[in-house]
A and B are shown apart, each in its own frame.
Chain A
């Protein structure tokens, strides 16, 4: 942190100013002139919260992707399909049993198992052949997408959150002042906040697992130098299977989350595959903090874009990616090798 400020004083200042502006804009009641330029504060706040919750979802999808890539150098372009499969399975479980939380467990296990199959059957057979892996995963994603279309059809599915999570909650953030001076507070769907907190918890747990446990140590060592790690006697294939299962399971969980606060329909797999691609390109391949920051940036950009310049909102995220590539090809948190 300190060394970054020393190395990049100008960038630090710019980042600090942007953050300070956001903090001020979120907590302060806006002066009248300000609203003329930026529109209503309620819109701004809604976009902000939608942005960070979307970012949380992107983080769940992209962290598995980036973990798998970082350790095994496998580009799993079927990751979006795993996400969608998780969503459909979660929907099935939630509808039949009525337990929302159970759907997370089942989606994690089923999609994780599929991940193990993928790792053992596909990736282990073609280790080190990047292009072939990519092509095979594209093939798998085409097949999976069509199988899912076959089974679940082209309808929209939404997973309903349980009673205790439905409805809005009042946040202590002022959106406007009434003419009599009374403050109006922001209300926001509670389920989204819970999902956001859940993603933060997952992120923190992942960080702890990577940095404080033995398995995490092995994984980090594997990211740095796979061959040397296996030379020290670690059964690296087991670590691979474990990480692949976990990354795939995360995608499954993300599917349930996505099915809860958006909906599942054909085409979502490509959308989330691209989102996670952009997130990890911006954040840096193989870096979990990078995935978090990238996901937050892309989520916010998408939501603010759709509010302030709706026509080209989707293009904005790709523009961010192009700019990052042009100035920092390894991504914000990536390391040059």
Chain B
């Protein structure tokens, strides 16, 4: 399994390996980041409000939730389906402690108190889930987290005292900070962009810290890491805590974007959608989930029109997504991101005799 640095440099598309000291400093930021950052920052100039709000807003948020799954899956080797529930819990907590249309439940705390409390509760929930899930490994983790996500869904649907049951909460609005209505398309675009970018770089940073490297060691060989004196369980639980925090931040943004939260948001379908997003994009690098989320949201928004255009009823959106997902996991386990190196290897194989050896490396 390749180390992260190799992978990042691959995606950076700068063929030569970096030295560590060179990584920091504006001159050494790969040109891809400049271009991408430029496009994203100037997007509101060209894009319509619908695109900013419904496509990019959603893509950034779902991308963050999928990013938390990618962190666990890609660096920790633990595929958790509970990330959407963590995000959903954070969203619910914002509604419960802050303001919402359901005045008999919402406590009406100010946002600067609500948000940290919501983040803390959701992170705690994710960590406890993680502590339970790390008792098992591999395939069991998927099943257990799936079961916990389902239990959470049924619980919020049945609980009327705190979660307001089937109806959930509506009119959960972001605070009017600095005189800006954050639910307008352009402000929420920049808000979600900011946090998505932040989460992206934090994940990249954490993956290179001693903790992140140890986590990748645990992924590749837990027994050897344990023999070296690392506490394998603690590293895994800490990974869950970190990933849950990212998912919780995404959850807060989700409830502000959506202005409502109901059990449908945390059902089994959305929980699996997050996995689909992460896998479609690619689970080896943090940019993957965002690519996957963008594809997913675009598909979800426009599949109807496209399907109708080719003469298939528009409700077959799930079929399209399912087939795309199936094709990707069948032929390219690394998602869209995996296609490029594979293509490059094939080109190289055609031109060089040592290609077979290169690919092995």
Contact = CB atoms under 8 A, between A and B. Distances in A.
Given A135-B329, A146-B319, A278 B155 contact: no
A252 B249 CA distance: 43
B127 to A, nearest CB: 15
A135 B319 contact: no
Contact of B158 (A270, A285, A315): A315
A315 B158 CA distance: 9
Given A143-B326, A145-B318, A138 B275 contact: yes
A278 B150 CA distance: 11
Interface in B132-174: 132, 135-136, 138-140, 142-144, 146-148, 150-151, 154-155, 158-159
Q: What class of interface size applies to chain A in its complex with B? A: 35 or more
A321 B151 CA distance: 10
Interface string B208-231: 000000000000000000000000
A142 B155 contact: no
A319 B79 CA distance: 21
A150 B158 contact: no
Interface in B321-343: 321-323, 325-326, 329-330, 333
A232 interface: no
A140 B136 contact: no
A139 B325 contact: yes
Given A143-B326, A145-B318, A329-B136, A135 B279 contact: yes
Interface string A199-238: 0000000000000000000000000000000000000000
Interface in B3-55: none
Contacts of B313: 150
B252 interface: no
Contacts of B138: 130-131
Contacts of A277: 143, 146-147
B272 interface: yes
B144 to A, nearest CB: 7
Contacts of B142: 75, 134
Nearest to B318: A146
B136 A325 contact: yes
Nearest to B157: A314
Contact of A314 (B144, B158, B272, B315): B158
Contact of A326 (B132, B154, B326): B132
Chain B interface category by residue count: 35 or more
Contacts of B322: 139-140, 142-143, 145-146
A314 B143 contact: no
A274 B319 CA distance: 21
A225 B108 CA distance: 60
Interface of A is mostly: helix
Contact of A312 (B79, B132, B158): B158
A173 B208 CA distance: 68
Nearest to B326: A139
Contacts of A147: 319
Nearest to B333: A132
Contacts of B148: 318, 322
B184 to A, nearest CB: 35
Contact of A274 (B79, B146, B275, B316): B146
Interface string B243-286: 00000000000000000000000001000100110010000000
B133 to A, nearest CB: 9
A311 interface: yes
A325 B132 contact: yes
A131 B79 contact: yes
Contacts of A318: 147-148, 150-151, 154
A136 B329 contact: yes
A136 B330 CA distance: 7
B147 A274 contact: yes
A280 B321 CA distance: 29
Contacts of B147: 274, 277-278, 281, 318, 321
A52 to B, nearest CB: 23
A143 B158 contact: no
A312 B154 CA distance: 8
A312 B155 contact: yes
Contacts of A138: 272, 275-276, 325
A145 B79 CA distance: 23
Contacts of B154: 314-315, 318
Contact of B143 (A75, A150, A270): A75
Interface in B108-137: 132, 135-136
Report which residue of A136, A138, A329 has the largest number of chain B beta carbons within 10 angstroms of its beta carbon: A138
Contacts of A139: 322-323, 325-326, 329-330
A135 B275 contact: yes
A326 B136 CA distance: 10
Contacts of A132: 329, 333
Nearest to A130: B139
A288 to B, nearest CB: 18
A134 B139 contact: yes
Given A142-B319, A315-B154, 20 more contacts: A131-B138, A132-B329, A136-B326, A136-B330, A138-B275, A139-B325, A143-B323, A145-B318, A270-B268, A274-B147, A274-B268, A312-B155, A314-B158, A315-B155, A315-B158, A318-B151, A319-B151, A325-B136, A329-B135, A329-B136
15 contacts: A75-B139, A130-B139, A136-B326, A139-B325, A140-B326, A142-B322, A146-B322, A150-B319, A274-B268, A277-B143, A315-B154, A318-B154, A325-B132, A326-B132, A329-B135
